[in-house]
Structure 1
Amino acid sequence: MLNQKMIGFGITLALFFLSSCGGNSKAEQTPIDPATEVINQKVEKTLSQLTLEEKVGQMTQITMDVISKGESIFVSDEPLELDDKKVIEAIQKYKVGSFLNTANNRARTPEKWNEIISDLQKVAMKEVGIPIIYGIDAIHGTTYTAGATFFPQPIGMGASWNKDLVRQMAEITAYETRASGIPWNFSPVLDLGRDGRWARMWETFGEDVFLVSEMGRETIRGYQGDDNDVSKKGRVAGSLKHYLGYSSYSGKDRTPAYIPERQLREIYLPSFKAAVDQGAYTVMVNSGLINGIPVHANKRLITDLLKNELAFEGLVVTDWADIENLHNRDKIAADQKEAVKMAVNAGIDMAMVPYNFNFTTNLIELVKEGEVNISRIDDAVRRVLKVKYALGLFENPTTEIDDYKEFASTKSEALALATAEESITLLKNRKKVLPLSKNAKVLVTGPNANSMRTLNGGWSYSWQGEKVSEFAEGYQTILEAIEEEIGKSNVSYVSGLEYKMDGKYEEEQNINIQGAVKAARNVDYIILCLGENSYCEKPGDLVDMDISENQQALAQAMAATGKPVILILNEGRPRLISRFEAQMDAVVQTYLPGNFGGVALANILFGDVNPSGKLPYTYPKYPNSLLTYDHQPSENQEKMEGVYDYESSFEIQYPFGHGLSYTTFEYSDLVVSKNEFDADDKLDVSVKVTNTGNRAGKEVVQLYTSDLYASISPSVKRLRRFEKIELAAGESKVVNFEISARDLAFVGLNNEWISEEGDFIFRLGNLEKQVKLTETKVFDQFPSLNL
């Protein structure tokens, strides 16, 4: 077994001295310990024995359908079988060193996964002498393994604001992924969900860079362990994605973004840097364009910034077919051969091809023609081999499934339930209508009321989540969980609307609104379950942020009955509800809570659990007011007599960090250790929080700061620290944070992290304190990337 010292990365050793949101342009040198040198020697020895063809093969990743029996490379037979001839072609002829995905985009049992990967490893060790590395997208549990424990999607994990739960989720996901024979997880997503139109918003931890950085760091800790020894049982190599600045100008997926360098460094880079510092082994590249340049062809971002400035020594892998997209979609490469040249010279180490072997033949030709230097090939293969050695694949290329007795254990399922409970967010509770009595008569209605597919969303047993019903029959929908909670005799159900399970997520059919209106006459409350069907990536692009017209009609019909309506939102992004929200008595956001979401919601609705989730994004009210909480002052202007006679409104549905409880919390005794501080000081900030209600509850204590004046118009506020605490009724606790001038820095005009002299406001709850920084200090300066 390899220990952490044998990992040979130095990924984090050279970076621990850096702060979480900056970094010097050159990493300080740290001594290489003997064990690290051992693994480096192994890598160099192996590298020296490889032919050019074998090296290029190590840089190649092919999807499973290519090597399976079936009618084409896009469709495999069921039951799944490897095609021996195709396997030999891939590994013997093209020396392919990595595979991903699952045939027919369908979950397999752990036993089947181990059978497939063991067969591939046998061929690889015989033909090349180097194990393959298999990767999968396991973003909220082991996505493609039947029977695995499913947690809330990342947006729900962010809504929990509970770092311990996020780390434990990652530990269980790593354990069950490795139990499936898979050592590489394409997760966590460290993009920021700052645009509610975006189809991938739910794959993020939210809109704020500090929240995402903290959750990303904890995810890597869970996947790889504190010591980063991923050769240990139950650990996987994580992959930070999608580097860098994955967002869009249009709100649609994989479309261009326009990001100035100072914003790229201040807002989008810190989450990746924090995870690099934690020891992440691999990085996956953004599929989109920044300022007109596809990231996969951007040497400044991949080599200069990631590999050189951040000193990342791990493996950089493309996203799906994105080298080919340089020619097919983005039109910057005249042909596929030029696309390969651009991407590899930019710093790509492994190509997720995924359907052919053209990458290998093109790259071999490019090296022989002198268009790609052999030193660039060696650098890439060296990084691939380091990851394989770190995972212990040379010694143990396959998993012993009998070593994983805790797969999908009751303990793991209990954690998934607890996480769903802590993520669900109570947004509105007029006249304290919630919690409901267990003797109440309720109507459950809406297209999301009786669907496991909508609770899980995409990346659930299949890419688009359309196969959930085949694998999740043993779990409870919202309807089934409510019936279990209060008895079927107290529950009426009329769907009102149903999704087309074989169609697009936004389409509904079987409209029976009048049936729901009739059923409402005989109940005390209406539980209205609205939201979205499952979707993932580009197929989830929107043309309208409003929740569908059919769902709006159902909501208004339910409100017109005069019965109290509890709106349950089950959605991956904030669909607009402003046309009927005022008529709702309570609003509960479940996000995409996973297989235990129905039970978790029922526990909250009927008072078994006190809700504690907080919004990880700003919930918009109107489509022309899509702003984040950390906007600049000019986004919200009031008339100033004699100055200007106009105003702009920052009108939102619910603010970032918002979430109600069944109890109340009072903040008092805010103390900042100094009223004035210099650039080298550390401030101690404390506040007393008291549960003033009559039941236990959890509160997320959020510390925000505001820079009153700066050389660049400052954000109105920024999240700097948070901690989730639990208090019994009447109990108080003092929460302490430490913060420095470095934490208050921003990226200035000269491409530098700088804290400027002046006044700052510290806010905790409804309390605030003004303090003064007495000097200006530049902390880190960077070479311009000329973006």
Structure 2
Amino acid sequence: MALGFVFFLSGDVAFAQQNKNKIDQNVQSLLSKMTLEEKVGQMAQVTLDVITKGKDRFSSYEPVVLDDKMMADVFGKYKVGSILNTANNRARTPQEWYGIISGIQKVGKGRLKIPVIYGVDAIHGVTYTAGATFFPQQIGQAATRNLELLKKGAQITAYETRASSIPWNFSPVLDLGPDPRFPRIWETYGEDPFLTAEIGKVVVKGYEGDDNNVSSPFHVASCLKHFLGYQVSVSGKDRTPVYLSEQALREYHLPAFKAAIDAGAHSIMINSGLINGVPVHADYSILTKLLRDELGFKGVVVTDWGDIENLYQRDRVAKDNKEAVMMAINAGIDMSMIAYKYEPFCDDLVALVKEGKVKMSRIDEAVSRILTLKYQLGLFDKPLTNYKDYPKFGSKEFEQAAYQTAAESITLLKNHNSVLPLSKGAKVLVTGPNANSMRTLNGGWSYSWQGEKVEDFAAKYNTILEAVQNKIGKMQVNFVPGVSYKMDGKYFEEYADRMEEALQAAKNADAVILCLGENTYTETPGNLSDLYLSELQTSYAQQLAQTGKPIILVLNEGRPRVISKFEPAMQGILMAYLPGNFGGDALADVIFGDVNPSGKLPFNYPKFPNSLANYYHKPSESRSVVEGVYNYDADYNPQWEFGFGLSYTTFAYSNLKLSSNSLSADDELSVSVEIKNAGNRTGKEAVELYVSDLYASITPDVKRLRAFEKIELKPGESRTLTFKLDKSAFAFVNRENQTVVEPGEFEVSIGGLKEKFNIK
């Protein structure tokens, strides 16, 4: 598990408390010396383009040079305490980052020598650092079901973020991703609350260290996002209204955030949207009563990009910027991610305090949290780290971890007549718009916000085509795109690219590797109106199938695009998600049998656009009625269910046993099961335990994931796993919004085996 670099673990509770007391004293001492304007400046955060030379504050000249005049205004006059993002929406080398942030820290400290805190979205590796190690996006990470692997990835990302002189990471995304229409589902860990919570905990520890000692030069402060209930809008589109009961909010959306807060996360970012008509950035009940009073969160609360301005510009709950600032700060916001126009926020907040509309105690509260974070990060002693102290940056060791994560994420969805793995002697046609693209392997938040600059930085890595050529030799591989992406004005379109030639080439191949999916996107640019895979890609797949050749469909996509129009004609189907720079290599190894696939779906893969029920749906969503008078395809009928994933070997489950068939709510239940590799290949299996509450005062979910573990078995090898379940595995949120365990009948299921028990 160790990466070969030092972790600073005190293990001394008394010392930790002493350090906390010292920080508290330093913060209060500093606070007492600060003017109102200096305090308000600490609550402001602007993007890097604002303080660099360029034609305006929205862009920078290349190479990037800090603008002394703008820095004098930002840091000297307005006392701004935080910078984020990159310049020109473009990745920088560690050397560039060191030069930029070194210059910021020299100028930004001000009369009280308060260091600037720099934040960045390093969500699957260090997004804006050239040469950084890129892992699969979060949705693919969830498919691995391998917590140890994901923690290691977070440690590597923290190391490389600090190698970029940046101490604050706006990650992980702990939004639930239950709606495949939403454009940011690939930034989540999928649709299940338990899986998201378990991964969130280990990722926070990977970023911050097991003891959350973020002063370590190898750790960063994590930032949970986006609190709360962001990705379940009625329309399925980004930043559009959510209507959600408090019961559902607590049952499905709160658990992951609570788990990560309990794991020690230092900061949290707020949902950009509205819940029940109220913008979350102005919701005191969520930001203070729930987050602070109930969950006990003590860290920094930061807005998302420009979201205080949105309270009046978009949401119209405030009549002007000043009222918007008042609403957000009084609701519980500590720091405003202003982005560009910092003057209105700072001027209005100073005025609001002087007018008594925002209390000084609220300002002191917010600023004390920000200063505390800066002390915790060690910025007062060492305001930036130096890339020269990070010899493992971009190392083979780190790349191997990224490759392994990609390999374990790939999910085998179909293997008709064991068409996979392909023979290395086969002649193959590699085709499709995603076949020869590093951009589509990585997705958004890769070297640039929308991922459009990936090809500028990732040329040394292998596309799917290049990886297949490396695997079996170029002479055995024919490549004809068939369909490609192109820029049409501001939008990317698909077009037929030598399609007839590709169809003819398929006739001369032993098998076709068809790489379909999506181009890169995130947030609002990723909104869509049709969940089906595009008409052109669908038509191309159907025409290829008519050649009669075996087709291996590789789905390289950020969300499950519906493929039921042509799925029956595909012999093999692999879900690659957005696997990162090593996704091509991992896919080639899976396709040709050097890696046995072990990924499991982190969501239901829908069969139709109007069939989007999650695996934990209510019984009324899957009904039995008289045959002949009901459309069974309109019932609960996913293409593949959450947790599905095939292997090149066979795992047999047996001997499901419970420690008791009758227990009280406070008793622990032990569940054991035997798993045997009944095939002839070594393989990894994610063993998943589900609990069903069969009867309850609120209609219960059909089943819920309550435990999982990934194991590796050799052919013929057996292993018995034992899971320990406490009352959290039997509980739900009732009509009074209380988490309760009700007596009654329950059922445990693992690998098709089921056993019932009663809670007295």
Correspondent of 2:159 among 175, 180, 201: 175
What is the CA distance between 1:652 and its match in structure 2? 1.1
Q: Which residue of 2 aligns with 1:298?
A: 283
Choose which of 129, 143, 164 in structure 1 pairs with 2:127.
Answer: 143
- 1:740: how far off? 2.0
Alpha-carbon distance between aligned partners in 2 of 1:306 and 1:394, rounded to the nearest angstrom: 28
Q: Residue 477 of structure 2 aligns with which residue?
A: 491
Which residue is 1:199 aligned to? Answer: 183
Point out where structure 2 has 5 or more consecutive residues left out of the alignment. Answer: 1-5
Query: CA distance change for structure 1 residues 271 and 556 in 2, over 3 Å: closer, same or farther?
Result: same
In 2, distance between residues paired with 1:369 and 1:680? 53
Taking a change above 3 Å as real, the CA distance of residues 333 and 314 of structure 1, as seen in their structure-2 partners, is same
1:397 equivalenced with 2:383 (yes/no): yes
2:707 aligns with 721
**Corresponding residue for 2:328?**
343
Give the equivalent residue in structure 2 for 1:688: 674
C-alpha RMSD over aligned residues: 1.8
Distance 2:112 2:177 in 1: 42
2: distance between equivalents of 1:504 and 1:234? 40
Distance 1:355 1:37 in 2: 36
Residues 399-548 of structure 1 aligned to structure 2 (within 5 Å): 399-501=385-487, 507-548=493-534
Residue correspondences, number: 751
What is the aligned partner in structure 2 of residue 779 from structure 1? none
Q: 10, 19, 26: which one pairs with 1:42?
A: 26
How far residue 127 of structure 1 moved from its aligned partner, in angstroms, is: 4.1
- Report matched runs for 1:122-137 at 5 Å: 122-137=106-121
Q: CA deviation at 1:73?
A: 1.1
- Cα offset for 1:193? 0.8
Give 2:96's aligned residue: 112
Distance, in Å, in 1 between the alignment partners of 2:642 and 2:468 is 29
SS of residue matched to 2:136: coil
User: Helix, strand or coil: the match of 1:366?
Assistant: helix
Could you say what secondary structure the match of 1:574 adopts? coil
The equivalent position to 2:258 in structure 1, one of 261, 269, 273, is 273
Supply the distance in 1 between the matched residues of 2:726 and 2:261 (Cα, whole angstroms).
22
Structure 1 match to 2:645: 659
Q: Is the 8 A contact 1:446 1:495 kept in 2?
A: yes
SS in 2 for 1:337: helix
In the other structure, the counterpart of 2:753 is 767
SS in structure 1 of the partner of residue 339 of structure 2? coil
- Alignment of 1:334 with 2:315, yes or no, is no
Matching residue's letter, 2:297:
F
Q: Which amino acid aligns with 1:650?
A: Y
Structure 1 segment 13-92 matched on structure 2, within 5 A: 33-92=17-76
1:38 offset after TM fit, Å?
1.4
SS at match of 2:398: helix
Aligned counterpart in structure 1 of residue 299 of structure 2, from 314, 339, 342 = 314
Structure 1: where are the runs of 5+ without partners? Answer: 8-12, 14-29, 775-787
Residues 223/241 of structure 1: CA separation in 2 closer, same or farther (3 Å cut): same
**Residue 214 of structure 1 is aligned with which of 198, 209, 212?**
198
Sort the Cα spacing of 1:155 and 1:709 in 2 relative to 1 into closer, same or farther, 3 A: same
Partner of 1:781 in structure 2?
none
Structure-1 residue corresponding to 2:559: 573
Deviations 1:398-425 (A, max 9, x none): 1122211110110000000000000010
Tell me if the contact between 1:176 and 1:407 (Cα under 8 Å) persists in the aligned partners. Answer: yes
CA distance in 2, matches of 1:395, 1:35: 14
Alpha carbons of structure 1 residues 220 and 679: separation in structure 2 relative to 1, 3 Å: same
> Compared with structure 1, are the counterparts of its residues 165 and 2 closer, same or farther at alpha carbon in structure 2 (3 Å cutoff)?
closer
Q: Which 4+ runs in 1 deviate beyond 4 A?
A: 1-7, 501-506, 644-648
Report whether the alignment pairs 1:245 with 2:229: yes
Task: Output one character per residue of 1:103-157: Cα deviation in whole Å (capped at 9) or x when no partner.
Answer: 1100000010011111111112344410000000000000000000000000000
Instruction: Give, in whole Å, the separation in 2 of the partners of 1:584 and 1:673.
Output: 44
Q: CA deviation at 1:511?
A: 3.1
2:213 to 216, 229, 238: 229
Structure 1's 418 and 311: CA in aligned 2 closer, same or farther, altered over 3 A? same
Tell me what 2:174 maps to.
190
Q: Identify the range of structure 1 (51-60 vs 124-133) with the bigger mean alpha-carbon deviation.
A: 124-133
Alignment map for 1:362-377 (pairs within 5 Å): 362-377=348-363
For residue 736 of structure 1, report the CA deviation from its aligned partner. Answer: 1.0
Query: Do 1:95 and 1:128's aligned partners in 2 also have CA atoms closer than 8 Å?
Result: no
Residue identity opposite 1:206 in structure 2: G
The verdict on how the C-alpha distance between 1:4 and 1:393 changes in structure 2, with shifts beyond 3 A counting, is farther
SS at match of 1:654: coil
Partner of 1:23: none
| Distance in 1 separating the partners of 2:693 and 2:397 | 45
1:753 aligns with one of 728, 739, 757: 739
CA distance in 1, matches of 2:136, 2:670: 34
In 1, Cα distance between equivalents of 2:56 and 2:161: 28
Q: Which amino acid in 1 is paired with 2:710?
A: K
3-state SS in 2 of match to 1:33: helix
Residue in 2 that maps onto 1:378: 364
1:95 counterpart letter in structure 2: K
Provide, for residues 289-311 of structure 1, a one-character-per-residue CA deviation record: whole Å limited to 9, x for no partner.
00000000000000110011111
1:256 partnered with 2:234: no
1:743 positional shift: 2.0
Maintained 8 Å contact 1:145/1:180: yes
Partners of 1:380 and 1:626 in 2: how far apart? 41
Moved more, 511-520 or 551-560: 511-520
2:495–2:536 Cα contact (<8 Å) kept: no
Q: Please say if residues 91 and 128 of structure 1, whose CA atoms lie closer than 8 Å, have aligned partners that are also in contact.
A: no
CA distance in 1, matches of 2:418, 2:398: 33
Structure 1 Cα separation of the partners of residues 600 and 709 of structure 2: 12
**Secondary structure at 2:106's aligned position in 1?**
helix
TM-aligned CA deviation for residue 512 of structure 1 = 2.2
Preserved contact between residue 7 and residue 218 of structure 2 (Cα < 8 Å): no
Letter of the structure 1 residue corresponding to residue 541 of structure 2: A
Q: Does 1:352 align with 2:337?
A: yes
The CA deviation at 1:5 is 7.9
Percent of residue pairs identical: 58
Instruction: State the alpha-carbon separation in 1 of the partners of residues 563 and 160 from structure 2.
Output: 38
User: 1:541-589 CA distances to partner (integer Å, 9 max, x unpaired)?
Assistant: 0011111111011101110000000100000000010000000001100
Tell me the TM-score normalized by structure 1.
0.94
Alpha carbons of 1:506 and 1:719: their partners in 2 closer, same or farther (altered >3 Å)?
A: farther
List per-residue Cα deviations over 1:220-251 (Å, max 9, x = no partner). 01000001001112110000000001121110
Instruction: Rate the CA distance shift 1:505–1:614 in 2: closer, same or farther, 3 A.
Output: farther
Matches of 1:285 and 1:316, distance apart in 2 = 7
Alignment of 1:143-162 (within 5 A): 143-162=127-146
Deviation at 1:741, TM superposition (A): 2.6
Q: Distance in 1 between matches of 2:586 and 2:7?
A: 40
- 1:65-99 Cα offsets, whole Å, 9 max, x none, are 11111111111101111111111110010000000
Cα distance change, pair 651–2 in 1 and its aligned pair in 2 (3 A): closer
TM-score (normalised: structure 2) = 0.97
Change (3 A) 1:343 1:475: same
CA 1:505–1:608: 2 relative to 1, 3 Å: farther
